[in-house]
């Protein structure tokens, strides 16, 4: 389905109330200064109002007005959003405003939602570290993990490794999906290659002592890590026997244990920030979760969205990034993942085989 996008208007929305003079300079934290710049677009799809099924322009104008008013009121509370970055040290809260673009997209929403993946796939290019090498093509795919598959992992894990499960409590749905992505990704490694480094973003707000409010501004995140050598990714004859389930869930146990141990070090102040952010010469797999962020509760005045999705982006020095989000029911996980084109097909095959085993 081909679509065209027509820009109707562009406008800079200023804060409804000027930022006080004493708040003009917002200093960036150490984490804000070190974290890599990235942009992750969030798409929210809302049903048309029953009394506006024919696309009445008057209703559209009201909706646009509500959005603009909401956007002007938000920077009053989060005033850095309407400012401008200055030397990567602070935000000049000069009330410069936020760009608001209104567009018209051809076609029907129902047709789009029938095959959304075809319309949302992004194919950026990412230069390799060696300028003389060819440019790698990155493709983006969406993966859905329903509650049934996640619960199946929980039940089998308890049945197979109940007595020796190191984590003491069953893994969360995010940990289960993270493991499935990791297990499928590490099989892409070639024999003799360096271990795969998994970096998983963790929201620090509730883990600090005392905890910070959920509305605390800034990149209050840090990355855990899990390392696995290529030798553990090989499929052996042992894994094709009846013991394969035990091996699989032992791997899950180890993976989750490493993540939780890294989080524990952070909360106890034993986290080496510089060591965590040094360059790594092996393969990197970046993961982040927006589950339980309440994105399906965003209501601008005409109800809650029927679908919320976020397309993953590529970090400058990483060739793999996976972003997780809730499904509408709140029990499954939707994942957008980016990989080098030649690796994506193998990753999908690995994931499919893995899901058949659980």
Domain identity same for 230 and 309: yes
Q: Mean pLDDT across the chain, nearest whole number?
A: 79
What is the pLDDT, as a whole number, of residue 196?
82
Q: Does residue 172 carry a pLDDT above 50?
A: yes
pLDDT (mean) for 60-81: 89
- Residue 328 falls inside a structural domain: yes
- Is there a domain that residue 128 lies in? no
Q: What Rg, from alpha-carbon coordinates, does the chain have?
A: 23
Confidence band for 237, pLDDT divided at 50, 70 and 90: very low
Together in a domain, 106 and 180: no
The domain boundary, picked from 79, 114, 149, lies at 114
Does residue 98 sit in the same domain as residue 215? Answer: no
CATH of the domain at 261: 3.30.559.10
Number of domains in the chain: 2
**Residue that is last in its domain, among 58, 81, 114:** 114
In a domain, 177, yes or no: yes
Both 55 and 147 in one domain: the answer is no
Same domain, yes or no, for 256 and 194?
yes
Average pLDDT over residues 335-339: 90
Checking if the pLDDT of 68 tops 80, the result is: yes
The angle that helices 244-267 and 147-161 make with each other, rounded to 10 degrees, is 100
The predicted-structure confidence for 123-167, as pLDDT tens digits, reads as follows 444 444 444 344 467 788 899 998 888 888 777 766 665 555 555
Same-domain check for residues 142 and 100? no
β-bridge mates for residue 81, sequence order: none
Examine residue 164 and state whether it is found in any structural domain, yes or no: yes
Q: How confident is the model at residue 231 (pLDDT cuts 50, 70, 90)?
A: very low
In a domain, 215, yes or no: yes
> Is the CB of residue 24 less than 8 Å from the CB of residue 79?
no
Q: Among the listed ranges 85-94, 249-258, 285-294, which one has the minimum average pLDDT value?
A: 249-258
Find the domain containing 10 and state its range: 4-114
Q: Do both 325 and 185 map to the same domain?
A: yes
Task: Measure the CA–CA gap between 354 and 336, rounded to whole angstroms.
Answer: 18
**Is pLDDT larger for residue 263 or for residue 358?**
263
- The confidence score (pLDDT) of residue 230 equals 44
Is the predicted pLDDT of residue 51 greater than 70, yes or no? no
Q: Is residue 190 included in any domain, yes or no?
A: yes
Indicate if 292 and 239 belong to the same structural domain: yes
- pTM of the predicted model over 0.85: no
Measured from the Cβ of residue 227, the count of other Cβ atoms closer than 10 Å reads 13
pLDDT digits (tens, 9 = 90+) for 75-85: 999 999 999 99
Residues 103 and 150 grouped into a single domain: no
- Looking at per-residue pLDDT, the higher value among 233 and 144 belongs to 144
For residue 211, being part of any structural domain is answered with: yes
3-state secondary structure 34-55: HCCCCCCCEEEECCCCHHHCCC
Positions of E strands within the chain: 5-13, 25-27, 42-45, 84-86, 90-92, 98-105, 125-126, 136-145, 196-203, 221-228, 284-289, 307-310, 320-326, 333-340
Task: Tell me, yes or no, whether 181 and 277 share the same domain.
Answer: yes
Of 334, 309, 332, the residue nearest 40 (C-alpha): 309
- Residue that is last in its domain, among 99, 114, 129: 114
* 182 lies in the same domain as 96: no
- Answer whether residue 126 is part of any domain: no
Pair (72, 169) in one structural domain? no
| CB-count exposure of residue 314 (10 Å: 0-12, 13-18, 19+) | buried
């Amino acid at each position: 389905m081909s679509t065209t996008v027509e820009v109707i208007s562009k406008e800079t929305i200023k804060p409804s109330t000027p930022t006080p003079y004493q708040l003009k300079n917002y200093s960036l934290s150490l984490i804000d200064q070190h974290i890599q710049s990235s942009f992750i677009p969030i798409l929210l799809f809302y049903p048309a109002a029953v009394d506006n099924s024919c696309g009445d322009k008057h209703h559209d104008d009201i909706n646009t007005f509500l959005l603009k008013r909401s956007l002007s009121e938000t920077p009053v509370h989060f005033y850095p959003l309407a400012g401008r970055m200055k030397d990567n040290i602070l935000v000049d809260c000069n009330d410069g405003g936020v760009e608001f673009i209104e567009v018209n997209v051809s076609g029907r929403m129902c047709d789009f939602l029938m095959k959304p993946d075809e319309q949302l796939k992004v194919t950026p290019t990412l230069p390799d570290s060696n300028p003389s090498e060819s440019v790698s093509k990155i493709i983006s795919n969406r993966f859905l993990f329903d509650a049934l598959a996640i619960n199946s992992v929980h039940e089998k894990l308890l049945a197979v490794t109940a007595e020796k499960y190191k984590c003491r409590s069953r893994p969360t749905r995010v940990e289960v999906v993270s493991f499935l992505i990791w297990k499928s990704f590490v099989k892409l490694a070639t024999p003799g290659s360096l271990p795969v480094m998994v970096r998983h973003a963790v929201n620090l707000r509730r883990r600090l002592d005392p905890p910070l409010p959920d509305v605390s501004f800034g990149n209050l995140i840090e990355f855990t890590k899990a390392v696995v050598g290529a030798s553990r990714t090989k499929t052996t004859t042992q894994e094709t026997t009846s013991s394969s389930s035990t091996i699989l869930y032992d791997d899950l146990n180890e993976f989750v244990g490493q993540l939780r141990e890294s989080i524990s070090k952070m909360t106890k102040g034993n986290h080496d920030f510089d060591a965590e952010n040094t360059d790594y010469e092996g393969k990197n797999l970046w993961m982040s979760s927006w589950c339980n962020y309440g994105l399906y509760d965003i209501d601008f005045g005409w109800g809650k969205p029927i679908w919320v999705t976020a397309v993953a982006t590529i970090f400058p020095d990483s060739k793999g990034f996976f972003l997780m989000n809730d499904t509408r029911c709140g029990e499954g996980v939707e994942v957008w993942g980016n990989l080098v084109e030649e690796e994506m097909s193998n990753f999908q095959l690995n994931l499919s085989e893995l899901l058949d085993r659980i």
